[in-house]
């Protein structure tokens, strides 16, 4: 069966809520790395919803300052450019995707905060604007950054990533285990401990 046929079969299965078969995904990735246009098209389409949810979760609610779709598109473009150099080193392909996404989200947040802090107001309006000012955007990003820093102090990087992938992106414990090179049981335990830790900090 050709890679395109395998991908089509997985599309049919995914519509019923079944996860994509790892063997099929690896075959499509291998074909995409080799330059197969159909495999590349399917692969980018497959990871796009996951990338979009990941970007949304890491950017937060400041959609007026950062266009989540634009960041997700940057991730997909970077992924497309990186495919020819991708080498399977024993980790799931999604770990590679989320690594790219993490860097792009961090870049977008830094750039947006810098632009918002330096953006001049063209003229004094006759009435008070209901839109957030550049200063407010800067404060929002500063607050988001502080929350992010707090989470990183309270949680380990592994716990933080597990919560994002499980609760926001919506991956199963099995899928997160594949991405992080762990077991579903260990992922569930880590998630429980992270949430318990967060509840304790919030209550204090």
Candidates 115, 134, 110; CA nearest to 58 is: 110
Residue ranges of domains in the chain, CATH in brackets: 1-119 (1.10.1740.10), 138-203 (1.10.10.10)
Is pLDDT larger for residue 22 or for residue 45? 45
- Band the pLDDT of 16: cuts 50, 70, 90: very low
Q: How confident is the model over 14-32, as a mean pLDDT?
A: 72
85 burial level (CB within 10 Å; 0-12, 13-18, 19+): exposed
Residues 138, 160: Cα–Cα separation, whole Å: 24
Kindly report the average pLDDT of the chain as a whole number: 78
pTM over 0.75: no
Q: What is the pLDDT of residue 63?
A: 46
Instruction: Pinpoint the alpha helices (H) of 15-133.
Output: 22-33, 37-59, 68-82, 93-118
pLDDT in tens, 129-170: 555 566 665 666 666 666 666 677 788 888 888 888 888 788
Residue-by-residue DSSP string for 119-179: PPP-S--SS--SSPPHHHHHHHHHHHHHHHHHHHHHS-HHHHHHHIIIIII---HHHHHHH
Candidates 120, 144, 150; CA nearest to 133 is: 120
Is pLDDT larger for residue 66 or for residue 61? 66
Is pLDDT larger for residue 79 or for residue 164? 79
Q: What is the pLDDT of residue 188?
A: 94
């Amino acid at each position: 069966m050709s890679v395109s046929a395998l991908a089509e079969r997985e599309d049919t299965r995914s519509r019923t809520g079944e996860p994509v078969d790892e063997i099929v995904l690896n075959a499509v990735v291998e074909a995409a790395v080799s330059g197969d246009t159909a495999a590349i098209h399917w692969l980018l389409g497959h990871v796009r919803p996951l990338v979009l949810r990941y970007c949304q979760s890491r950017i937060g609610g400041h959609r007026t300052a950062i266009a989540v779709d634009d960041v997700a598109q940057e991730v997909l473009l970077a992924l497309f450019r990186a495919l020819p150099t991708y080498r399977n080193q024993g980790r799931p392909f999604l770990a590679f995707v989320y690594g790219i996404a993490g860097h792009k989200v961090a870049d977008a947040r830094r750039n947006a905060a810098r632009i918002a802090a330096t953006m001049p107001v063209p003229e004094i309006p006759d009435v008070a604007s209901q839109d957030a000012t550049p200063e407010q955007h800067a404060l929002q990003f500063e607050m988001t950054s502080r929350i992010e820093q707090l989470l990183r102090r309270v949680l380990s990087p592994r716990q933080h990533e597990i919560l994002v992938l499980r609760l926001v992106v919506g991956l199963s414990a099995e899928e997160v285990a594949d991405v992080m090179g762990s077991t579903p049981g260990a992922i569930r335990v880590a998630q429980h401990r992270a949430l318990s830790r967060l509840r304790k900090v919030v209550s204090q």
